[in-house]
Structures are given as structure tokens and as C-alpha cells.
């Protein structure tokens, strides 16, 4: 139950217009993707948010540990064409 409550609280903070942190920005970008099974790569997130790749990687790891996002099946990145493990929301 804590997980669900945490997610609701997290979304409420974003909906109330609070200043967005890097983690909030990244979570919002991931949450906006339309194909949840396809996910988004870190490089794609970096390009979409304007954040450096190292900041994206760190925040994505935090969001995975907090169970806000999960990994998808491997695929090729649309930017680098390398095999990657994209992420999506639960």
C-alpha cells in the first residue's frame, strides 16, 4: 500500500505546480510516452529534457529504486542505434 500512496503523493506534488526537480522532469517525460511497452532510452530522455546524460542516468536509477519506473525489453535506441534497456512507468 505504501507504494501506491507514494506514487499518488508524487503525482500530487507535480499537479500542484511545485518547482520541478531533475527527477520530477525525468519522471514526467517518461510518464508522457505513449507506448509504455516500448519505453524510452536514457539518451532519448536526455535529448527530450535537455539534461546531461549523467544527470539522467542518476535520476533514472533513483526512480527505479523507488519503484516509480521499470525496465522494458531491450531494443535499439532511436538516437544511437545501440542495444539498450529502455524504461517506462509502472
Query: Mean pLDDT, to the nearest integer, of 62-74?
Result: 95
Averaged pLDDT score across all residues of the chain? 86
Cβ–Cβ under 8 Å, residues 38 and 71: no
CATH number of the domain that 6 lies in? 1.10.10.10
Proportion of the chain above pLDDT 70, given as a percent: 78
Report the interhelical angle of 42-49 vs 22-31 (nearest 10°).
Answer: 110
Boundaries of domain holding 16: 2-89
At 37 the pLDDT is 85
Total domains in the chain come to 1
Its pTM stands at 0.75
Distance set, CA 56 to CA 4, 41, 63 (Å):
24, 10, 10
The pLDDT tens digits of the residues spanning 8-52 come to 665 665 565 544 799 999 999 999 987 888 999 999 999 999 999
Distance set, CA 76 to CA 29, 48, 66 (Å):
19, 17, 26
Amino acid at each position: 500500500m505504501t507504494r501506491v500512496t507514494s506514487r499518488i503523493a508524487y503525482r500530487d506534488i507535480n499537479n500542484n505546480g511545485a518547482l520541478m526537480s531533475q527527477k520530477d522532469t525525468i519522471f514526467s517525460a517518461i510518464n508522457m510516452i505513449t507506448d509504455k511497452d516500448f519505453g524510452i532510452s536514457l539518451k532519448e530522455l536526455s535529448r527530450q529534457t535537455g539534461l546531461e546524460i549523467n544527470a539522467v542516468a542518476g535520476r533514472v536509477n533513483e526512480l527505479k529504486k523507488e519503484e516509480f519506473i521499470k525496465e522494458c525489453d531491450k531494443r535499439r535506441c532511436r538516437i544511437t542505434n545501440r542495444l539498450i534497456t529502455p524504461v517506462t512507468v509502472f
